[in-house]
Protein backbone atom coordinates (compact mmCIF):
# COMPACT_ATOMS: atom_id res chain seq x y z
CA UNK A 1 0.00 0.00 0.00
CA UNK A 2 2.65 2.49 1.03
CA UNK A 3 4.84 1.37 -1.85
CA UNK A 4 2.20 2.74 -4.22
CA UNK A 5 2.67 6.20 -2.75
CA UNK A 6 6.42 5.97 -3.17
CA UNK A 7 5.89 4.86 -6.75
CA UNK A 8 3.50 7.74 -7.38
CA UNK A 9 6.02 10.13 -5.87
CA UNK A 10 8.68 8.91 -8.25
CA UNK A 11 6.18 8.89 -11.08
CA UNK A 12 5.35 12.56 -10.62
CA UNK A 13 9.01 13.40 -11.21
CA UNK A 14 9.09 10.99 -14.11
CA UNK A 15 6.06 12.71 -15.58
CA UNK A 16 7.96 15.99 -15.60
CA UNK A 17 10.77 14.30 -17.52
CA UNK A 18 8.31 12.78 -19.97
CA UNK A 19 6.65 16.15 -20.55
CA UNK A 20 10.02 17.71 -21.18
CA UNK A 21 11.02 15.02 -23.66
CA UNK A 22 7.71 15.23 -25.49
CA UNK A 23 7.21 18.98 -25.71
CA UNK A 24 10.50 20.79 -25.23
CA UNK A 25 12.62 20.91 -28.36
CA UNK A 26 16.28 20.00 -27.84
CA UNK A 27 18.48 23.08 -27.89
CA UNK A 28 21.39 23.35 -30.24
CA UNK A 29 24.57 24.93 -28.97
CA UNK A 30 24.47 27.60 -26.32
CA UNK A 31 21.20 29.32 -25.68
CA UNK A 32 20.59 30.78 -22.30
CA UNK A 33 16.89 31.41 -22.06
CA UNK A 34 14.11 31.12 -19.54
CA UNK A 35 11.62 28.32 -19.20
CA UNK A 36 9.94 26.81 -22.23
CA UNK A 37 6.37 28.02 -22.73
CA UNK A 38 3.89 25.19 -23.32
CA UNK A 39 0.81 27.30 -23.96
CA UNK A 40 -0.62 30.66 -22.97
CA UNK A 41 -3.82 31.30 -21.04
CA UNK A 42 -5.63 34.55 -21.74
CA UNK A 43 -6.15 36.49 -18.53
CA UNK A 44 -6.82 40.13 -17.68
CA UNK A 45 -3.84 42.43 -16.94
CA UNK A 46 -1.37 39.95 -18.41
CA UNK A 47 -1.55 36.68 -20.29
CA UNK A 48 -0.40 33.65 -18.29
CA UNK A 49 2.11 31.48 -20.06
CA UNK A 50 2.19 27.96 -18.63
CA UNK A 51 5.89 27.23 -18.59
CA UNK A 52 8.26 24.47 -17.64
CA UNK A 53 8.87 26.05 -14.27
CA UNK A 54 5.14 25.99 -13.45
CA UNK A 55 4.73 22.39 -14.53
CA UNK A 56 7.89 21.29 -12.78
CA UNK A 57 6.93 22.95 -9.53
CA UNK A 58 3.54 21.25 -9.67
CA UNK A 59 5.27 17.96 -10.27
CA UNK A 60 7.53 18.65 -7.30
CA UNK A 61 4.52 19.45 -5.14
CA UNK A 62 2.81 16.28 -6.24
CA UNK A 63 5.98 14.33 -5.51
CA UNK A 64 6.20 15.83 -2.02
CA UNK A 65 2.52 15.11 -1.40
CA UNK A 66 2.95 11.45 -2.28
CA UNK A 67 6.17 11.31 -0.31
CA UNK A 68 4.29 12.60 2.74
CA UNK A 69 1.56 10.03 2.22
CA UNK A 70 4.22 7.36 1.86
CA UNK A 71 5.99 8.41 5.03
CA UNK A 72 2.88 8.70 7.16
CA UNK A 73 0.97 5.64 5.98
CA UNK A 74 0.58 3.00 8.65
CA UNK A 75 1.86 4.98 11.60
CA UNK A 76 2.21 2.93 14.75
CA UNK A 77 2.96 3.62 18.36
CA UNK A 78 5.18 0.58 18.72
CA UNK A 79 7.64 -1.30 16.52
CA UNK A 80 8.25 1.85 14.52
CA UNK A 81 9.36 1.33 10.94
CA UNK A 82 12.29 3.17 9.37
CA UNK A 83 9.76 5.08 7.27
CA UNK A 84 7.98 6.38 10.32
CA UNK A 85 11.29 7.20 11.98
CA UNK A 86 12.17 9.32 8.97
CA UNK A 87 8.81 11.12 9.12
CA UNK A 88 9.22 11.75 12.84
CA UNK A 89 12.79 12.88 12.31
CA UNK A 90 11.69 15.43 9.70
CA UNK A 91 8.91 16.76 11.89
CA UNK A 92 11.08 16.94 14.98
CA UNK A 93 14.01 18.57 13.22
CA UNK A 94 11.94 21.27 11.55
CA UNK A 95 9.99 21.93 14.73
CA UNK A 96 13.22 22.28 16.70
CA UNK A 97 14.72 24.52 14.01
CA UNK A 98 11.68 26.78 14.12
CA UNK A 99 11.62 26.78 17.90
CA UNK A 100 15.27 27.75 18.27
CA UNK A 101 15.14 30.41 15.55
CA UNK A 102 11.70 31.88 16.10
CA UNK A 103 10.72 31.00 19.67
CA UNK A 104 7.77 29.12 21.14
CA UNK A 105 5.21 31.61 19.85
CA UNK A 106 5.91 30.68 16.23
CA UNK A 107 5.84 26.91 16.69
CA UNK A 108 2.98 26.66 14.19
CA UNK A 109 5.37 27.85 11.52
CA UNK A 110 7.10 24.48 11.37
CA UNK A 111 5.02 23.16 8.44
CA UNK A 112 5.50 26.42 6.57
CA UNK A 113 9.26 26.33 7.01
CA UNK A 114 9.24 22.68 6.01
CA UNK A 115 7.24 23.62 2.91
CA UNK A 116 9.73 26.36 2.00
CA UNK A 117 12.66 24.00 2.54
CA UNK A 118 11.06 21.12 0.67
CA UNK A 119 9.76 23.07 -2.28
CA UNK A 120 12.98 25.04 -2.71
CA UNK A 121 15.30 22.08 -2.27
CA UNK A 122 13.33 19.71 -4.49
CA UNK A 123 12.90 22.40 -7.15
CA UNK A 124 16.61 23.11 -7.24
CA UNK A 125 17.51 19.41 -7.13
CA UNK A 126 15.15 18.64 -10.01
CA UNK A 127 17.94 19.93 -12.26
CA UNK A 128 19.82 16.76 -11.30
CA UNK A 129 17.39 14.68 -13.34
CA UNK A 130 17.63 17.04 -16.29
CA UNK A 131 14.59 19.17 -15.52
CA UNK A 132 14.42 22.92 -15.70
CA UNK A 133 14.79 23.97 -12.05
CA UNK A 134 11.73 26.09 -11.16
CA UNK A 135 13.86 28.12 -8.74
CA UNK A 136 15.80 29.56 -11.64
CA UNK A 137 12.62 31.36 -12.66
CA UNK A 138 12.28 34.75 -10.96
CA UNK A 139 8.48 34.45 -10.83
CA UNK A 140 8.63 31.39 -8.61
CA UNK A 141 11.01 32.78 -6.02
CA UNK A 142 9.27 36.16 -6.19
CA UNK A 143 5.99 34.50 -5.30
CA UNK A 144 7.55 32.90 -2.22
CA UNK A 145 9.31 36.11 -1.21
CA UNK A 146 6.09 38.08 -1.51
CA UNK A 147 4.29 35.56 0.68
CA UNK A 148 7.07 35.92 3.23
CA UNK A 149 6.76 39.70 2.96
CA UNK A 150 3.03 39.47 3.70
CA UNK A 151 3.76 37.32 6.72
CA UNK A 152 6.43 39.71 7.98
CA UNK A 153 4.06 42.66 7.65
CA UNK A 154 1.22 40.75 9.25
CA UNK A 155 3.28 39.89 12.31
CA UNK A 156 4.68 43.39 12.52
CA UNK A 157 1.12 44.72 12.64
CA UNK A 158 0.10 42.25 15.32
CA UNK A 159 0.84 44.78 18.05
CA UNK A 160 -1.32 47.39 16.32
CA UNK A 161 -0.96 49.40 13.09
CA UNK A 162 0.18 52.47 14.95
CA UNK A 163 3.21 50.72 16.37
CA UNK A 164 3.95 49.35 12.91
CA UNK A 165 3.84 52.81 11.35
CA UNK A 166 5.88 54.28 14.18
CA UNK A 167 8.61 51.72 13.58
CA UNK A 168 9.41 53.44 10.29
CA UNK A 169 10.42 56.57 12.18
CA UNK A 170 13.09 54.72 14.17
CA UNK A 171 15.65 55.81 15.21
CA UNK A 172 14.97 59.27 13.69
CA UNK A 173 11.96 60.23 11.53
CA UNK A 174 14.36 61.47 8.89
CA UNK A 175 15.23 57.89 8.02
CA UNK A 176 11.63 56.93 7.20
CA UNK A 177 12.15 56.72 3.40
CA UNK A 178 15.16 54.47 3.87
CA UNK A 179 13.21 52.27 6.25
CA UNK A 180 10.40 51.95 3.72
CA UNK A 181 12.90 51.05 1.00
CA UNK A 182 14.59 48.48 3.22
CA UNK A 183 11.17 47.03 3.99
CA UNK A 184 10.56 46.39 0.31
CA UNK A 185 14.15 45.38 -0.29
CA UNK A 186 13.67 42.33 1.91
CA UNK A 187 11.47 40.30 -0.47
CA UNK A 188 13.30 41.57 -3.52
CA UNK A 189 16.68 40.52 -2.14
CA UNK A 190 15.31 37.14 -1.05
CA UNK A 191 13.78 36.44 -4.45
CA UNK A 192 16.81 37.56 -6.42
CA UNK A 193 19.30 35.79 -4.17
CA UNK A 194 17.64 32.44 -4.61
CA UNK A 195 16.85 32.87 -8.29
CA UNK A 196 20.29 34.28 -9.11
CA UNK A 197 22.17 31.50 -7.34
CA UNK A 198 20.35 28.68 -9.06
CA UNK A 199 20.31 30.34 -12.48
CA UNK A 200 23.98 31.33 -12.34
CA UNK A 201 24.79 27.77 -11.36
CA UNK A 202 23.09 26.33 -14.41
CA UNK A 203 24.61 29.01 -16.68
CA UNK A 204 28.10 28.33 -15.39
CA UNK A 205 27.55 24.59 -15.79
CA UNK A 206 26.41 25.17 -19.36
CA UNK A 207 29.34 27.48 -20.17
CA UNK A 208 31.85 25.06 -18.67
CA UNK A 209 30.36 22.16 -20.59
CA UNK A 210 30.50 24.08 -23.87
CA UNK A 211 33.99 25.37 -23.13
CA UNK A 212 35.23 21.89 -22.30
CA UNK A 213 33.88 20.45 -25.53
CA UNK A 214 35.65 23.24 -27.47
CA UNK A 215 38.85 22.59 -25.55
CA UNK A 216 38.73 18.86 -26.15
CA UNK A 217 38.15 19.53 -29.85
CA UNK A 218 41.37 21.58 -30.07
CA UNK A 219 43.42 19.17 -27.94
CA UNK A 220 42.28 15.97 -29.63
CA UNK A 221 42.23 17.37 -33.20
CA UNK A 222 45.12 15.06 -34.15
CA UNK A 223 42.83 12.03 -33.81
CA UNK A 224 41.34 10.76 -37.08
CA UNK A 225 37.72 11.29 -38.14
CA UNK A 226 34.85 11.27 -35.69
CA UNK A 227 37.17 10.48 -32.76
CA UNK A 228 38.37 14.09 -32.88
CA UNK A 229 34.87 15.47 -32.49
CA UNK A 230 34.06 13.47 -29.37
CA UNK A 231 34.11 15.82 -26.31
CA UNK A 232 36.37 13.76 -24.05
CA UNK A 233 36.79 16.47 -21.44
CA UNK A 234 33.05 16.62 -20.86
CA UNK A 235 33.26 13.19 -19.23
CA UNK A 236 33.23 13.60 -15.47
CA UNK A 237 34.46 17.15 -15.08
CA UNK A 238 31.04 18.86 -15.35
CA UNK A 239 29.71 16.36 -12.82
CA UNK A 240 32.01 17.85 -10.18
CA UNK A 241 30.64 21.30 -10.90
CA UNK A 242 27.12 19.93 -10.85
CA UNK A 243 27.85 18.49 -7.44
CA UNK A 244 28.48 22.01 -6.19
CA UNK A 245 25.96 24.03 -8.20
CA UNK A 246 23.03 21.63 -8.09
CA UNK A 247 23.43 19.65 -4.92
CA UNK A 248 25.28 21.95 -2.54
CA UNK A 249 24.07 25.29 -3.82
CA UNK A 250 20.52 24.04 -4.21
CA UNK A 251 20.38 22.73 -0.65
CA UNK A 252 22.17 25.76 0.73
CA UNK A 253 19.88 28.23 -0.99
CA UNK A 254 16.83 26.38 0.28
CA UNK A 255 18.26 26.52 3.79
CA UNK A 256 19.15 30.21 3.45
CA UNK A 257 15.69 31.06 2.18
CA UNK A 258 14.07 29.18 5.07
CA UNK A 259 16.45 30.77 7.62
CA UNK A 260 15.78 34.26 6.30
CA UNK A 261 12.04 33.59 6.35
CA UNK A 262 12.21 32.58 10.00
CA UNK A 263 14.52 35.39 11.05
CA UNK A 264 12.61 38.14 9.26
CA UNK A 265 9.24 37.02 10.55
CA UNK A 266 10.31 36.55 14.15
CA UNK A 267 12.66 39.54 14.06
CA UNK A 268 9.96 41.91 12.86
CA UNK A 269 7.49 40.69 15.47
CA UNK A 270 7.36 43.19 18.37
CA UNK A 271 6.98 40.62 21.12
CA UNK A 272 7.01 43.07 24.05
CA UNK A 273 4.47 45.43 22.53
CA UNK A 274 2.31 42.49 21.58
CA UNK A 275 2.42 41.13 25.13
CA UNK A 276 1.64 44.60 26.55
CA UNK A 277 -1.25 45.01 24.13
CA UNK A 278 -2.62 41.61 24.97
CA UNK A 279 -2.36 42.34 28.68
CA UNK A 280 -4.05 45.71 28.27
CA UNK A 281 -6.84 44.17 26.26
CA UNK A 282 -7.40 41.52 28.88
CA UNK A 283 -7.41 44.13 31.62
CA UNK A 284 -9.95 46.18 29.73
CA UNK A 285 -12.06 43.07 29.23
CA UNK A 286 -11.85 42.26 32.93
CA UNK A 287 -12.75 45.83 33.86
CA UNK A 288 -15.73 45.77 31.50
CA UNK A 289 -16.87 42.48 32.97
CA UNK A 290 -16.55 43.93 36.48
CA UNK A 291 -18.62 46.97 35.51
CA UNK A 292 -21.29 44.76 33.97
CA UNK A 293 -21.40 42.62 37.08
CA UNK A 294 -21.80 45.73 39.25
CA UNK A 295 -24.64 46.98 37.03
CA UNK A 296 -26.36 43.64 37.25
CA UNK A 297 -26.09 43.64 41.01
CA UNK A 298 -27.51 47.14 41.19
CA UNK A 299 -30.44 46.29 38.97
CA UNK A 300 -31.06 43.16 40.98
CA UNK B 1 6.30 27.86 -28.95
CA UNK B 2 9.15 29.95 -27.77
CA UNK B 3 11.00 30.28 -24.51
CA UNK B 4 10.61 32.98 -21.93
CA UNK B 5 13.25 35.61 -21.50
CA UNK B 6 15.67 35.03 -18.67
CA UNK B 7 14.07 37.71 -16.56
CA UNK B 8 10.40 38.14 -17.28
CA UNK B 9 8.01 39.06 -14.53
CA UNK B 10 4.51 37.74 -14.91
CA UNK B 11 2.02 38.63 -12.22
CA UNK B 12 -0.04 35.49 -12.62
CA UNK B 13 3.00 33.27 -12.41
CA UNK B 14 4.00 35.02 -9.21
CA UNK B 15 0.52 34.53 -7.80
CA UNK B 16 0.51 30.88 -8.79
CA UNK B 17 3.88 30.32 -7.16
CA UNK B 18 2.65 32.05 -4.01
CA UNK B 19 -0.42 29.85 -3.99
CA UNK B 20 1.78 26.81 -4.60
CA UNK B 21 3.74 27.52 -1.44
CA UNK B 22 0.56 27.98 0.57
CA UNK B 23 -0.86 24.75 -0.83
CA UNK B 24 2.33 22.87 -0.05
CA UNK B 25 2.25 24.31 3.47
CA UNK B 26 -1.29 22.98 3.88
CA UNK B 27 -0.28 19.62 2.40
CA UNK B 28 2.65 19.25 4.77
CA UNK B 29 0.57 20.33 7.72
CA UNK B 30 -2.28 17.98 6.90
CA UNK B 31 -0.38 14.94 5.67
CA UNK B 32 2.92 15.04 7.53
CA UNK B 33 2.86 17.15 10.68
CA UNK B 34 -0.60 16.39 11.98
CA UNK B 35 -0.43 12.58 11.65
CA UNK B 36 3.04 12.48 13.15
CA UNK B 37 2.03 14.73 16.04
CA UNK B 38 -1.08 12.67 16.59
CA UNK B 39 0.84 9.43 16.69
CA UNK B 40 3.39 10.99 19.03
CA UNK B 41 0.68 12.17 21.40
CA UNK B 42 -0.88 8.73 21.25
CA UNK B 43 2.42 7.11 22.03
CA UNK B 44 2.99 9.44 24.95
CA UNK B 45 -0.46 8.59 26.20
CA UNK B 46 0.27 4.92 25.90
CA UNK B 47 3.56 5.29 27.72
CA UNK B 48 1.82 7.24 30.44
CA UNK B 49 -0.79 4.52 30.90
CA UNK B 50 1.94 1.90 30.88
CA UNK B 51 3.78 3.78 33.59
CA UNK B 52 0.63 4.09 35.60
CA UNK B 53 -0.03 0.38 35.20
CA UNK B 54 3.52 -0.45 36.22
CA UNK B 55 3.24 1.79 39.27
CA UNK B 56 -0.02 0.12 40.22
CA UNK B 57 1.46 -3.35 39.77
CA UNK B 58 4.45 -2.42 41.87
CA UNK B 59 2.24 -1.06 44.59
CA UNK B 60 0.23 -4.26 44.59
CA UNK B 61 3.39 -6.31 44.72
CA UNK B 62 4.65 -4.20 47.61
CA UNK B 63 1.38 -4.71 49.45
CA UNK B 64 1.55 -8.44 48.84
CA UNK B 65 5.14 -8.51 50.00
CA UNK B 66 4.27 -6.65 53.18
CA UNK B 67 1.40 -9.09 53.79
CA UNK B 68 3.65 -12.07 53.32
CA UNK B 69 6.31 -10.60 55.53
CA UNK B 70 3.69 -10.04 58.22
CA UNK B 71 2.51 -13.57 57.83
CA UNK B 72 6.05 -14.91 58.02
CA UNK B 73 6.77 -13.02 61.25
CA UNK B 74 3.51 -14.22 62.81
CA UNK B 75 4.29 -17.75 61.69
CA UNK B 76 7.66 -17.50 63.36
CA UNK B 77 6.03 -16.32 66.54
CA UNK B 78 3.50 -19.09 66.37
CA UNK B 79 6.20 -21.67 65.87
CA UNK B 80 8.07 -20.31 68.84
CA UNK B 81 4.91 -20.47 70.90
CA UNK B 82 4.20 -24.02 69.85
CA UNK B 83 7.73 -25.09 70.63
CA UNK B 84 7.77 -23.45 74.02
CA UNK B 85 4.38 -24.96 74.85
CA UNK B 86 5.56 -28.38 73.81
CA UNK B 87 8.69 -27.98 75.87
CA UNK B 88 6.64 -26.93 78.84
CA UNK B 89 4.30 -29.82 78.47
CA UNK B 90 7.17 -32.22 78.09
CA UNK B 91 8.79 -30.83 81.22
CA UNK B 92 5.57 -31.22 83.12
CA UNK B 93 5.12 -34.75 81.99
CA UNK B 94 8.71 -35.44 82.79
CA UNK B 95 8.24 -34.19 86.29
CA UNK B 96 5.08 -36.17 86.73
CA UNK B 97 6.78 -39.27 85.49
CA UNK B 98 9.73 -38.66 87.73
CA UNK B 99 7.46 -38.14 90.69
CA UNK B 100 5.50 -41.24 89.90
CA UNK B 101 8.57 -43.36 89.46
CA UNK B 102 10.02 -42.06 92.70
CA UNK B 103 6.78 -42.85 94.41
CA UNK B 104 6.83 -46.30 93.00
CA UNK B 105 10.42 -46.83 94.05
CA UNK B 106 9.59 -45.60 97.53
CA UNK B 107 6.70 -47.99 97.70
CA UNK B 108 8.87 -50.85 96.61
CA UNK B 109 11.51 -49.88 99.11
CA UNK B 110 8.94 -49.55 101.86
CA UNK B 111 7.44 -52.90 100.99
CA UNK B 112 10.85 -54.48 100.92
CA UNK B 113 11.63 -52.97 104.28
CA UNK B 114 8.36 -54.23 105.71
CA UNK B 115 9.07 -57.67 104.32
CA UNK B 116 12.51 -57.64 105.80
CA UNK B 117 11.10 -56.50 109.12
CA UNK B 118 8.52 -59.20 109.12
CA UNK B 119 11.03 -61.84 108.10
CA UNK B 120 13.32 -60.73 110.83
CA UNK B 121 10.58 -60.81 113.35
CA UNK B 122 9.54 -64.25 112.22
CA UNK B 123 13.08 -65.43 112.31
CA UNK B 124 13.50 -64.03 115.77
CA UNK B 125 10.39 -65.77 116.92
CA UNK B 126 11.57 -69.05 115.46
CA UNK B 127 15.03 -68.63 116.90
CA UNK B 128 13.54 -67.71 120.22
CA UNK B 129 11.36 -70.81 120.17
CA UNK B 130 14.28 -72.98 119.14
CA UNK B 131 16.43 -71.49 121.79
CA UNK B 132 13.73 -72.13 124.37
CA UNK B 133 13.31 -75.64 123.18
CA UNK B 134 17.04 -76.23 123.09
CA UNK B 135 17.56 -74.60 126.47
CA UNK B 136 14.73 -76.67 127.89
CA UNK B 137 16.32 -79.84 126.65
CA UNK B 138 19.74 -78.78 127.90
CA UNK B 139 18.47 -77.68 131.26
CA UNK B 140 16.44 -80.90 131.57
CA UNK B 141 19.54 -82.88 130.92
CA UNK B 142 21.57 -80.69 133.22
CA UNK B 143 19.08 -80.60 136.01
CA UNK B 144 17.99 -84.04 135.36
CA UNK B 145 14.45 -83.52 135.86
CA UNK B 146 11.55 -82.24 133.94
CA UNK B 147 11.12 -78.58 133.98
CA UNK B 148 7.75 -77.27 134.08
CA UNK B 149 7.61 -75.39 130.83
CA UNK B 150 4.90 -73.15 131.86
CA UNK B 151 6.65 -72.20 135.13
CA UNK B 152 9.86 -71.26 133.53
CA UNK B 153 8.86 -69.78 130.23
CA UNK B 154 8.80 -66.27 131.59
CA UNK B 155 12.21 -66.73 133.10
CA UNK B 156 13.70 -68.00 129.90
CA UNK B 157 12.13 -65.34 127.79
CA UNK B 158 13.59 -62.76 130.03
CA UNK B 159 17.00 -64.28 129.73
CA UNK B 160 16.79 -64.44 125.98
CA UNK B 161 15.67 -60.84 125.73
CA UNK B 162 18.61 -59.78 127.86
CA UNK B 163 20.84 -61.86 125.66
CA UNK B 164 19.52 -60.16 122.58
CA UNK B 165 20.01 -56.74 124.07
CA UNK B 166 23.56 -57.31 125.13
CA UNK B 167 24.38 -58.54 121.68
**pLDDT per residue over A32-54, tens digit each?**
777 788 888 888 888 888 888 88
Grade residue B111 by pLDDT with cuts at 50, 70 and 90. very high
Cβ distance of B25 and A39 shorter than 8 Å: no
Buried b (16+ CB within 10 A) or exposed e, A123-147: bbbbbeeebbbbbbbbbbbbbbbbb
- This model of the complex carries an ipTM of 0.86
Angle at A262 between CA A260 and CA A266, to 5 degrees: 120
> In chain A, whose CA is at the least distance from the CA of B9?
A139
Nearest CA in chain B to A32: B6
Q: Tens digit of pLDDT for each residue in B4-21?
A: 777 788 888 899 999 999
State yes or no: cis peptide before A203, omega within 30 of 0: no
Residue A131 in contact with residue A56, Cβ under 8 Å? yes
Q: What is the pLDDT of residue A189?
A: 94
More confident of the two residues B63 and A129: B63
Most confident range, picked from A203-217, A231-245, B57-71 = B57-71
String of DSSP letters for A15-60: HHHHHHHHHSPPP-S-----PBEEEEE--SSS-EEEEHHHHHHHHH
Q: Are β-strands A37-41 and A48-51 bridged in parallel, bridged antiparallel, or unpaired?
A: antiparallel
Q: Which residues of B touch A46 (CB under 8 A)?
A: 10-12
Phi (first) and psi of residue B85, to 5 degrees = -60, -45
Q: What is the mean pLDDT of chain A?
A: 87
**What is the pTM for the complete model shown?**
0.73
- Which of B14, B25, B37 faces A143 most closely, judged by CB atoms? B14
Evaluate whether A131 touches A20 at the Cβ level (below 8 Å).
yes
* CB pair distance less than 8 Å for B15 and A143: yes
d(CA A214, CA A229) in angstroms, rounded, equals 9
- The pLDDT value recorded for residue B165 is 64
Residues 6+ apart with CB under 8 A from A137: A34, A35, A51, A53, A195, B4, B13
Is B3 in a helix, a strand, or coil?
Answer: strand
Burial A165-190 (b: 16+ CB within 10 A, else e): eebeeeeeeeeeeeeeeebeebbeeb
Q: What is the pLDDT of residue B66?
A: 94
pLDDT of residue B57: 95
- Residue B23: how many CB atoms within 10 A of its CB? 15
User: Residue A151, CB half-sphere, CA atoms under 13 Å: how many?
Assistant: 22
Amino acid sequence: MSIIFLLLSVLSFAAAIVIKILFVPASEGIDITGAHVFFTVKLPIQDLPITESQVNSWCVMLGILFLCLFLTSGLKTRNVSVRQLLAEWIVEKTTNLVKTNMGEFFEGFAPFVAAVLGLSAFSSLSSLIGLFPPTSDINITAGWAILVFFLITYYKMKAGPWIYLKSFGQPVPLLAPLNIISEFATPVSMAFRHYGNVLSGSIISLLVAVGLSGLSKTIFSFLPGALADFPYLRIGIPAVLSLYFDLFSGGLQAFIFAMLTMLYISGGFPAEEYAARKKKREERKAARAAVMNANKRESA
Amino acid sequence: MQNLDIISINIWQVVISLANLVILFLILKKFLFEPVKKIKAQRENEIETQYKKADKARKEADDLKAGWEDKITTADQKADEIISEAVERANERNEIMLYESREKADQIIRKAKADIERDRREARETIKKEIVDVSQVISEQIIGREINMDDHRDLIDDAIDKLGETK
